[in-house]
Structure formats: C-alpha cells, structure tokens
Structure 1
C-alpha cells in the first residue's frame, strides 16, 4: 500500500514475491490492443471518467429503450441505469463487461462509470481496456476486504492473474479447471429479454358484485330497539337536567318543579303493544299476565 502521497505501485505479493499488475503488464498480456496517445496517456473513456460529465442525452438514446431514463439522486444528478431498461444487444455487452472487465456481485443495474464504458464500447470508441482492468484490480487490492468466507462475487480476472503469476515464475498449486457456459439464444431469452408486464387478471379483474343489503330485522325487535333508544335518550336528558338543577341551586337559582322536569325529559309513555302471534307473554316477561303493579300504593 502507498504511504501518504506516494503513487500507487500496482504491485502485490504472491507467495512472498512481488507481482505487478500495472497497465503496461496487462496490455502486454492482452496483445497490446491499445497504444497510448497524448501526454496523459488516457483514452476517450479515461478523459470522460476523469471529468465525470457524461453525455446523458446521447447515452439514453444509444443504450436505453424508448421511454426509459437514467435513475437520479435527490440532486437530480444521473446515478445509474437499470439493466431491464436497456436494449437487448446492450444488455449482452453489459454482461460481457460484468463477466470479463468489471466483475460485480449483481447485474441488475449499471452505475455511471460502467454505463459510460458501455456507451463507449457500443459506440465503437477506442477504450484502453488494460487501464480499466488495472484500475479495477487496484480497487480490489485497496478494498481492505479480509473476510473471504463469504465472497460477494466470483474471483475477478482468474485467467489474467494466473498468467501474470506464470510470467513471473511463481510456483502455484495444481490448477482446477472450470467450464464456462455458452451464451446462446436460451441464455439471451432468460437474462436479456425485456420482461413483459404481468397480464391483467380477467380484464382488470371483474368488478365485484355489490354487497347484498343487510339482513332484514324483525319488526318486533326493531320496535323494542327504538323504545330502548328513546328510554336512553330520556335518561340522558334527565341526568343533564338533574346536574343543571343542582348547579343552579348552588347558584341560588330556581329549581325545576316535577311537572316541568317530566315535561323536559319526555319519557316514553307506554310500552309498544304487539298483536296476536308475537308472543306477548314471552316477550313481556314479568307482569305479562296482567297490568303492571303500581309502584306507589
């Protein structure tokens, strides 16, 4: 690791020996596909990445399906683009980038740096791939991840790392080969096709039938309910009047006489009467066989 302002050495230790993974070493391994140009040695993608001013309008037209846009942050700055919003061919290029150039733990979206690389590649612009890989390996080496029991993504650049180790003649254990799958039409249909929206259920779901009207109430019970409610209302008025009278008495005011008190409360006079078949004896309870006993003799 560099100390303070020292430049990064792009060197790591493998089995006690230094192994360089700088841009020139990787470019040589790739067959020198890109020749440095200019004083800074940056390709067009490197310049755009350093400035950070992406041509979002051109990228949207080139990469995304009609009607789709970049996802923005709270400051309305472009943040990323979803893979499902990309054109099918662009999704294939994105998968190639994720599997070979910039490994990631998930492929559902592309941040601006990867979206910019995707735009440059699909537009046919020259890209210094060796520098892209070298900077990515630097980011991995500087990430400080020490718990490898649950890796978040596959090992990045295994073939490149092994070739660099062989070139430095560093002893390595026996190789373990793994066969990679083929990207065919079936793979494209599964991973790259635009997902169709879910079909509406039975033409936007048939309208539910109106709720049936509430069950009819027996007229006898309804009459009793009304009588009880009237009784409760009268009790409320009586208690209110009693409280008001006591309050007025406290203020040396007049107290309501009994006739005015009864007129104010307006209690129901008589119980409701029911005809034959209603069961007056069962419904009336005590006193159903005759007149109610007088309270005051």
Structure 2
C-alpha cells in the first residue's frame, strides 16, 4: 500500500503579524515569558551625590527617567520577530511589529536616550574583550574584605551583593532594571560588575551598544523562561516607528529606586560602621562556658547586641527565609519587596 506523501509545511505565516511560520510558532513560547519592567531612578544627592554626577556626566539622565507603562502584546510580538530564525530578520538589531520595522541598533537607542556617542573606544567592551584589573574592580565596588568569588580553576565568577558598597548596590539596582536586566539579586555577574566599575570610574561606555546587545541576547536565548527585558523602552521604540501602542493591556514600571530604597536596601545609614567579626566568636570570647553545655542565661556585653543587629540586617537584606536568634527574631523575607516582584498589570488607558 502506498504511503501518504507528507505535505511540506508552508513557510508563510497564517498571520501577518509574524515574519515566518516558525516565528508564529515561536510566539507560543514568548507568550509564557513575563516582562521584567524597568524602574525610575532618583539621583539621591543627600546620600551619594557622586551617583548623580556619574549618571549625568555620561548623558544618561533620560535612562533613569523614561520608564512608562509597557504594552504587553506589542513587546511580546517584538521579541517573537526579533529572534533570528532562518533568514529572518534580515538584519541585526531589527524587529518587526504589525507591519513596522523596529530598529534597536545602538544609534537608535542612543538617539532615544538623548545620548551622544562620538565613536570613541568603549571601555566596557574593552574590559570584556581584554580583561580588567580585578583588584582595582574590587577596590572600587567592594567594602573592606569584599572580593570576587572564584571557581575551582581560579577564574572570577561574581561578587556577592553583601560585599558591595552602598553606591555599588544602588548602581546594581539601576543596571539590573534599565540596562542589563536581571531578576537575580544575591550576587552580580562579572559582566555586570565590570559595567558598574566603568560607570563609577567615569570610563567611556556606549550605552546604546550595551542595551542593544542585551535585547538581542534576550530575543535569541534558548531559555524559554527568561523574562523579557526593556519592555518600556521597546514600547517607546515601537511607538516612534508608527505602531499603535495605545490598546491595553499594559504593565507598569516597578517601584522607583530612590533615597528610601538607598537607606533600606543599600545600607546607606550604616556606611561608617565597622564590619563585624564572626558572631559566635564574639559571644563566646566573653563566656567561660563551653558551647555544647547548658548554662544559666546571662546578658551579653552591650557591644554584642550591635553585632546581633548587624547579623539580623545582613540576613534580612539577602532575603533569609528563617531567622531565629534565641527565639526572639522571627522569619523575614525582603527580596520580593526589594525587587518589586508583584508588578501590576493594568487594563485601561494611560
């Protein structure tokens, strides 16, 4: 009996919204990816005036203020068609939404951000290609005793957030929201650490190139669960290209980063306080009772209550789920609040 001939799948998509049939299929994957919204970022002159000087000195002022509600459907169509599948899209840094070509190349992004790039050598790109002085990076980004974490072969991997200075923590929050999107908050990767290092050192950085590369990587990742970054920026670019972005649903930017954030999550009020030694060492230096034997309950020396408070704040900062010291401190979890994880989807006009 003759076998039924398998029909070749048509290349043309059923909907004009997609570049190809494969892009149309890919849309089902993108539909399940959440948006990682940007945040407005304040200049915090009363706590770290150098931060504002660094931002404005690089013409990045608009980068800290542009976030507005993103059009969810538009952003997901953009990312669907920005993925390189076969011969489409035909150019790098090119998306497609509802019949409109959306360019997100470095020049287009710099123009939107009102940032002038004269074509100098990007020091961040140079650090990524040729490496950096990691000891100087640690001096700039870390508190005393803080350093890069390394793997077994000795290669640098990341820096724990608790090892960063308050200023570096604030830059980390800004970068993770508007520049190099990331929802992971307990440490900072090498590339993100080098970016913050360049920003604090006032080295030349082509911010349009950095963001364009981030969008391209996000569009082409094989991780089907990775969140979609820069949704507000993409909505702006689509609107400038002629796409109707007025139809809901929308998603609002996450909670703004400002002086209150700096004080609560960056340790802004505790900068001058010394780094505490290990807690148990301090406690038992004042006691002749062995650790593993019961003893009458006694008051700790006054200075040890300071170290207990430091420990509690440190664990709270990294989102500890179970903190218990003598049964007097209950569980805490600040990570969701810090990251503004419960972003709001709004149905209606803005």
Q: Give the TM-score normalised by the residue count of structure 1.
A: 0.59
The answer as to whether partners of 2:110 and 2:208 remain within 8 angstroms in 1 is: yes
Equivalent residue for 2:56? none
Equivalent residue for 1:128? 206
Equivalent residue for 2:197? 119
Equivalent residue for 2:27? none
Per-residue deviation, 1:198:
8.0
Distance in 2 (alpha carbons) for counterparts of 1:48 and 1:84:
24
Which of residues 147, 155, 170 in structure 1 aligns to 2:243?
Answer: 170
How many residues align? The count is 199
Note the 1:23-34 alignment, pairs <5 A.
23-34=106-117
Note the 1:1-297 alignment, pairs <5 A.
1=84, 9-37=92-120, 42-51=121-130, 53-146=131-224, 152-153=226-227, 155-172=228-245, 173-174=247-248, 176=250, 178=252, 180-193=254-267, 199-200=279-280, 203-204=283-284, 206-207=289-290, 208=293
Residue 34 of structure 1 aligns to a residue in which SS? coil
Distance in 2 (alpha carbons) for counterparts of 1:8 and 1:47:
25
Distance in 2 (alpha carbons) for counterparts of 1:209 and 1:84:
33
Distance in 1 (alpha carbons) for counterparts of 2:194 and 2:147:
14
Equivalent residue for 1:289? none
Q: Structure 2 vs 1, CA of residues 201 and 34 (structure 1 numbering), >3 Å: closer, same or farther?
A: same
Distance in 2 (alpha carbons) for counterparts of 1:54 and 1:202:
38
Per-residue CA distance 1:189-227 (angstroms, 9 max, x = gap): 4322289778549933743269xxxxxxxxxxxxxxxxx
Distance in 2 (alpha carbons) for counterparts of 1:124 and 1:7:
36
Q: Structure 2 vs 1, CA of residues 209 and 125 (structure 1 numbering), >3 Å: closer, same or farther?
A: closer
* Root mean square deviation, CA, Å: 3.0
Per-residue deviation, 1:178:
2.6
Q: Structure 2 vs 1, CA of residues 3 and 71 (structure 1 numbering), >3 Å: closer, same or farther?
A: same
Q: Structure 2 vs 1, CA of residues 17 and 196 (structure 1 numbering), >3 Å: closer, same or farther?
A: farther
Residue 95 of structure 2 aligns to a residue in which SS? strand
Distance in 1 (alpha carbons) for counterparts of 2:93 and 2:281:
58
In the alignment, structure 1 segments of 5+ residues that lack a partner are 211-297
Q: Structure 2 vs 1, CA of residues 179 and 62 (structure 1 numbering), >3 Å: closer, same or farther?
A: closer
Q: Structure 2 vs 1, CA of residues 59 and 25 (structure 1 numbering), >3 Å: closer, same or farther?
A: same
Distance in 2 (alpha carbons) for counterparts of 1:145 and 1:111:
18
The answer as to whether partners of 1:12 and 1:20 remain within 8 angstroms in 2 is: yes
Distance in 2 (alpha carbons) for counterparts of 1:136 and 1:163:
17
Of 97-106 and 179-188, deviating more is 179-188
Residue 203 of structure 1 aligns to a residue in which SS? helix
Distance in 1 (alpha carbons) for counterparts of 2:137 and 2:115:
28
Distance in 2 (alpha carbons) for counterparts of 1:31 and 1:77:
38
Q: Greater relative contact order (Cα 8 A, min sep 6): structure 1 or 2? A: 2
Per-residue deviation, 1:17:
3.2
Q: Structure 2 vs 1, CA of residues 144 and 171 (structure 1 numbering), >3 Å: closer, same or farther?
A: farther
Per-residue CA distance 1:213-247 (angstroms, 9 max, x = gap): xxxxxxxxxxxxxxxxxxxxxxxxxxxxxxxxxxx
Per-residue CA distance 1:167-196 (angstroms, 9 max, x = gap): 111123236363643434442243222897
